[in-house]
């Protein structure tokens, strides 16, 4: 009797221990599953944020290609307008300021440039030193890319005017920004090595836009557009044609126009 | 493009207050069995309220209920519409689709549980909604190759385009998340999910009876013809007739909106139809080209100028920025004028995307 009671107690104790071990094991498994789920959630969120960020710089189908296949070969010819902006005599300016002040001034300028570009449907492709390269018409197509780019250029000039007011109050040197705008066909797509891919536009338009920007110094104007941009602008833009000039890499002299003013209101009724 | 609901930066305050219209709700409940929840943001513009109601009815009978919900969800994802994305995601959950499948779609734009045929429809719907570049005849051929009929293709294109327009409507109005998202928030709701599912399936399966022929003359008429054979044709014609004959804004404003959105999306067929309507309003061809090239004209008044600037911004957009633009645009406008313009830009966006169907003819 006593023996059987003992064995019963033993079985009960064993069962309790087994249950406890099972419970602990289940608890651990559940905890591990929760940790795995949390890690998955985080990885998913990170991936989605990465996708979202990538989408800012590349068309959606390119993002999908990269996600599905790891690469994208979908290069295409697109009509775009490229805007180049930079600060006049930036080297001299950088030598006269402390690194902290220089970075602060530059950041304010880049902020003004980014806002002017994105508010008018453009996309900042690159900051190169003190220069800004913006694209209108890619990654998203835009029927009014040339007009938008010139309005963005005028807006950038106005924003720099306001920024200069702030700099003056802080006894800091003011900025003088020159802008060149040119339109044409480019090849847009993802290029680079497997480790360093970027969505970009390639073509003569990019080089010519940079050359037109450098012509602003020669002509002593703030905003210069090419003859290819001119047809996209109506009477609201006050333009002045400048003498043709040879630029590096071009066999023919480049015809350009200075943008002197822009008014939202229609000034000169067109003749139909 | 959003990859999850949380990523969408959505304005917390709707652009306009919801104003229920009990008489209209009674009427549509009698006819359809339910009244659209979103319509109360559209009162008193009757054609737009009706359009929203039609949007929730099943006018694309060749497409299965789940595929319809999947198409609507991926298009809403693509348009980053918080309201629609959440609503269709919840609808699929209620229909019994697991969370994992939706996640797969969100993360990799494809799901193992979907057949190749279903996946092809979703890929095509995204192309239609995105229209960057606009889908081509080869995209239609791909659908034919996986076994879709001409009618099915037409209805898929209709559904994707109408949703792209509907997403803009909900986005511009900053409509709060759908009550559907809360449909199984507590244990009691979870318990009755099988019944809710049955009820839902039956409501979504009832095909709207619109066999009556409806003709429409104006921008979009070609697409109405291209949809012939589907109830969607009569529904679209009814909505366009309502919009075109509404006295709230002039026909010239309507035609300008359709023309600008068509130019923005590079749809020549839609632009031609809108140009024809502008010629009927006394515009010459050079005047039309001028306004579409420069988005301005000495013929436009201040309101029309404002409308054109607004219409072009709806073609491609960042959600939050579009909602802010809508707030700026709304300043000083009467509710019905604002709503009609918003409705028109949404339909113009839908039609220009749907015009892929014209390649079929």
- Residue B96's pLDDT band, with cuts at 50, 70 and 90, is confident
Cα of B294 to nearest chain A Cα, Å: 7
Q: Which residue has the tokens 């879709």?
A: B148
A69 pLDDT exceeds 70? no
Confidence at residue B208, expressed as pLDDT on a 0 to 100 scale: 66
Record the tokens describing residue B38, joined without a space: 């979103």
> Cβ(B284)–Cβ(A272) under 8 Å?
yes
Beta bridge partners of A257: A225, A241
Report how many Cβ contacts below 8 Å link chain A to chain B: 71
Give the pairing of strands A223-226 and A177-193: parallel
> Cβ(B282)–Cβ(B275) under 8 Å?
no
> Cβ(A259)–Cβ(A156) under 8 Å?
no
| Cα distance between the two ends of chain A | 117
Contact A232 B293 (CB under 8 A): yes
What residues of chain B lie within 8 A of the CB of A49, using their CB?
Answer: 7
Q: Which residue has the tokens 């012939």?
A: B228
Q: Return the residue of A nearest to B8 by Cα.
A: A52
Confidence at residue B272, expressed as pLDDT on a 0 to 100 scale: 97
Which whole-number Å values give the CA distances from B180 to B53, B83, B185, B189, B195, in the listed order?
Answer: 16, 10, 10, 12, 15
Contact B110 A67 (CB under 8 A): no
Task: Tell me the Ramachandran region of residue B301: left when phi exceeds 0, alpha when psi lies from -120 to 50, beta otherwise.
Answer: beta
* Residues B170, A197: Cα–Cα separation, whole Å: 36
B251 pLDDT exceeds 60? yes
Contact B293 A142 (CB under 8 A): no
Instruction: Name the percent of chain A lying above pLDDT 90.
Output: 52
B87 pLDDT exceeds 80? yes
What residues of chain B lie within 8 A of the CB of A266, using their CB?
Answer: 296-298
A169-178, B150-159, B188-197, B260-269: least confident range = B188-197
A51-65, B10-24, B29-43: least confident range = A51-65
Task: Tell me the Ramachandran region of residue A192: left when phi exceeds 0, alpha when psi lies from -120 to 50, beta otherwise.
Answer: left
Contact B316 A140 (CB under 8 A): yes
Cα of A261 to nearest chain B Cα, Å: 16
Task: Tell me the Ramachandran region of residue A171: left when phi exceeds 0, alpha when psi lies from -120 to 50, beta otherwise.
Answer: left
Q: Which residue has the tokens 């050079």?
A: B286
Pick A48's closest partner by Cβ from B3, B109, B293. Answer: B3
Cα of B323 to nearest chain A Cα, Å: 14
Residues 6+ apart with CB under 8 A from B72: B84, B88, B91, B159, B163
Contact A266 B296 (CB under 8 A): yes
Where in chain A does DSSP place strands (E)? Answer: 76-87, 122-128, 131-136, 177-193, 196-202, 223-226, 237-245, 254-262
Beta bridge partners of B241: none
Torsion, CA A144, CA A150, CA A154, CA A160, rounded to 10: 110
Residues 6+ apart with CB under 8 A from A166: A108
Predicted ipTM beyond 0.95: no
Record the tokens describing residue B20, joined without a space: 């229920």
Which whole-number Å values give the CA distances from B206 to A252, B32, B64, in the listed order?
Answer: 68, 9, 11
> Which tops the pLDDT comparison, B180 or B253?
B253
> Cβ(A211)–Cβ(A107) under 8 Å?
no
Pick A48's closest partner by Cβ from B7, B284, B293. Answer: B7
Nearest alpha-carbon partner for B257 in B236, B240, B234: B240
Tell me the average pLDDT across B217-245.
93
Percentages helix, strand, coil for chain B, rounded to the nearest 5? 65, 0, 30
For A3, phi then psi, to 5°, come to -65, -45
Where in B13-95 does DSSP place strands (E)? Answer: none
> Which tops the pLDDT comparison, A172 or A53?
A172
Confidence at residue A193, expressed as pLDDT on a 0 to 100 scale: 73
Cα of B263 to nearest chain A Cα, Å: 7
B309 pLDDT exceeds 80? yes
Tell me the average pLDDT across B204-219.
73
Q: Is A228 helix (H, G, I), strand (E, B) or coil?
A: coil
Cα of A33 to nearest chain B Cα, Å: 16
> Which tops the pLDDT comparison, A223 or B217?
A223
Tell me the average pLDDT across B278-284.
98
Confidence at residue B361, expressed as pLDDT on a 0 to 100 scale: 42
Tell me the average pLDDT across B178-192.
81
* Residues B152, B150: Cα–Cα separation, whole Å: 5
Average pLDDT taken over every residue of chain A? 87
> Which tops the pLDDT comparison, A170 or A39?
A170
* Residues B259, A107: Cα–Cα separation, whole Å: 41
- Residue B259's pLDDT band, with cuts at 50, 70 and 90, is very high
Beta bridge partners of A188: A76, A201
What residues of chain B lie within 8 A of the CB of A189, using their CB?
Answer: none
Cα of B293 to nearest chain A Cα, Å: 7
pLDDT tens sequence across B339-356: 999 999 999 999 999 999
What residues of chain B lie within 8 A of the CB of A239, using their CB?
Answer: none
A140 pLDDT exceeds 90? no
Q: Return the residue of A nearest to B306 by Cα.
A: A264
Q: What residue spans of B131-192 are helical by DSSP H? A: 137-145, 150-172, 187-191
| Cα distance between the two ends of chain B | 31
Which whole-number Å values give the CA distances from A21 to A31, A34, A160, B111, B258, in the listed order?
Answer: 15, 20, 71, 39, 71
> Cβ(B46)–Cβ(B342) under 8 Å?
no
B230-234, B322-326, B333-337: least confident range = B230-234
Pick B7's closest partner by Cβ from A52, A234, A270. Answer: A52
User: Residues A165, A166, A171, A176: is their CA dihedral positive or negative?
Assistant: negative
Instruction: Name the percent of chain A lying above pLDDT 70.
Output: 84
What residues of chain A lie within 8 A of the CB of B298, using their CB?
Answer: 266, 269-270
Cα of A14 to nearest chain B Cα, Å: 37
Confidence at residue B2, expressed as pLDDT on a 0 to 100 scale: 74
* Residues in A lying within 8 Å of B, measured between beta carbons: 44-45, 47-49, 51-52, 55, 59-61, 63-64, 67-68, 76, 140-144, 147, 232-234, 236, 266, 269-270, 272
Q: Which of A37, A45, A48, A54 to mutate to test the interface with B (most CBs of B within 10 A)?
A: A48
Confidence at residue A56, expressed as pLDDT on a 0 to 100 scale: 59
**If you average pLDDT over each of A263-267, B1-5, B208-212, which comes out highest?**
B1-5
A25-34, A116-125, B117-126, B289-298: least confident range = A25-34
pLDDT tens sequence across A84-127: 999 999 888 888 899 999 999 999 999 999 999 999 999 998 89
* Residues B356, B360: Cα–Cα separation, whole Å: 7
Q: Return the residue of A nearest to B261 by Cα.
A: A143
DSSP string, A68-111: HHS-----EEEEEEEEEEEETTHHHHHHHS-HHHHHHHHHHHHH
- Residue A270's pLDDT band, with cuts at 50, 70 and 90, is low
B53-67, B217-231, B271-285, B291-305: least confident range = B53-67
Contact A266 B1 (CB under 8 A): no
> Cβ(B269)–Cβ(B355) under 8 Å?
yes
* Residues B76, B84: Cα–Cα separation, whole Å: 6
- Residue A55's pLDDT band, with cuts at 50, 70 and 90, is low
């Amino acid at each position: 009797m006593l023996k059987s009671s003992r064995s019963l107690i033993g079985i009960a104790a064993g069962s309790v221990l087994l249950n406890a071990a099972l419970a602990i094991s289940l608890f651990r498994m559940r905890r591990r599953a929760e940790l795995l789920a949390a890690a998955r959630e985080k990885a998913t969120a990170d991936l989605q944020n990465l996708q979202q960020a990538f989408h800012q710089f590349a068309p959606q189908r390119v993002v999908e290609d990269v996600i599905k296949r790891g690469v994208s070969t979908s290069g295409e010819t697109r009509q775009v307008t490229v805007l180049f902006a930079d600060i006049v005599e930036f080297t001299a300016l950088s030598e006269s300021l402390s690194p902290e002040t220089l970075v602060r001034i530059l950041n304010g300028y880049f902020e003004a440039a980014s806002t002017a570009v994105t508010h008018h449907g453009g996309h900042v492709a690159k900051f190169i030193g003190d220069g800004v390269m913006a694209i209108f018409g890619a990654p998203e197509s835009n029927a009014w890319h040339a007009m938008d780019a010139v309005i963005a250029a005028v807006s950038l000039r106005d924003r720099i005017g306001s920024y200069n007011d702030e700099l003056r109050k802080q006894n800091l040197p003011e900025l003088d920004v020159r802008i060149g705008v040119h339109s044409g066909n480019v090849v847009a797509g993802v290029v680079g090595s497997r480790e360093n891919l970027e969505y970009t536009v390639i073509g003569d338009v990019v080089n010519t836009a940079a050359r037109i920007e450098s012509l602003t110094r020669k002509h002593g104007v703030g905003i210069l557009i090419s003859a290819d941009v001119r047809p996209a602008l109506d009477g609201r833009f006050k333009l002045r044609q400048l003498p043709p000039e040879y630029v590096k890499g071009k066999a023919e002299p480049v015809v350009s126009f200075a943008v002197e003013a822009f008014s939202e209101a229609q000034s000169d009724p067109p003749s139909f | 493009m959003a990859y999850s609901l949380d990523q969408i930066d959505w304005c917390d305050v709707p652009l306009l207050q919801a104003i229920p219209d009990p008489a209209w709700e009674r009427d549509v409940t009698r006819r359809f069995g339910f009244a659209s929840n979103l319509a109360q943001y559209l009162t008193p513009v009757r054609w737009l309220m009706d359009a929203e109601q039609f949007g929730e009815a099943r006018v694309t009978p060749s497409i299965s209920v789940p595929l319809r919900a999947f198409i609507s969800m991926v298009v809403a994802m693509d348009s980053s519409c918080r309201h629609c994305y959440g609503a269709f995601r919840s609808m699929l959950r209620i229909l019994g689709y697991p969370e994992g499948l939706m996640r797969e779609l969100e993360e990799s734009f494809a799901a193992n549980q979907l057949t190749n045929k279903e996946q092809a429809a979703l890929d095509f719907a995204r192309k239609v909604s995105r229209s960057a570049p606009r889908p081509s005849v080869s995209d239609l051929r791909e659908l034919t190759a996986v076994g879709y009929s001409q009618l099915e293709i037409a209805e898929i294109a209709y559904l994707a385009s109408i949703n792209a327009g509907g997403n803009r409507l909900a986005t511009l109005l900053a409509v709060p998340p759908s009550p559907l998202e809360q449909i199984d928030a507590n244990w009691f709701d979870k318990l009755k999910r099988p019944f809710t599912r049955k009820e839902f399936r039956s409501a979504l399966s009832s095909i709207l009876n619109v066999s009556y022929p409806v003709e429409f003359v104006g921008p979009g008429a070609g697409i109405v013809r291209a949809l012939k054979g589907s109830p969607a044709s009569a529904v679209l014609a009814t909505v366009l007739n309502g919009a075109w004959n509404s006295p709230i804004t002039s026909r010239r404003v309507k035609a300008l909106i359709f023309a600008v959105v068509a130019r923005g999306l590079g749809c020549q067929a839609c632009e031609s139809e809108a140009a024809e309507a502008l010629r009927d309003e006394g515009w010459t061809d050079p005047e039309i080209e001028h306004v579409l090239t420069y988005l301005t004209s000495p013929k436009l008044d201040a309101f029309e100028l404002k409308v054109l600037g607004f219409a072009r911004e709806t073609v491609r957009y960042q959600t939050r920025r579009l909602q802010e633009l809508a707030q700026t645009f709304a300043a000083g406008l009467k509710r019905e004028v604002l709503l009609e313009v918003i409705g028109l830009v949404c339909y113009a966006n839908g039609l220009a995307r749907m015009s892929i169907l014209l390649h079929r003819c």
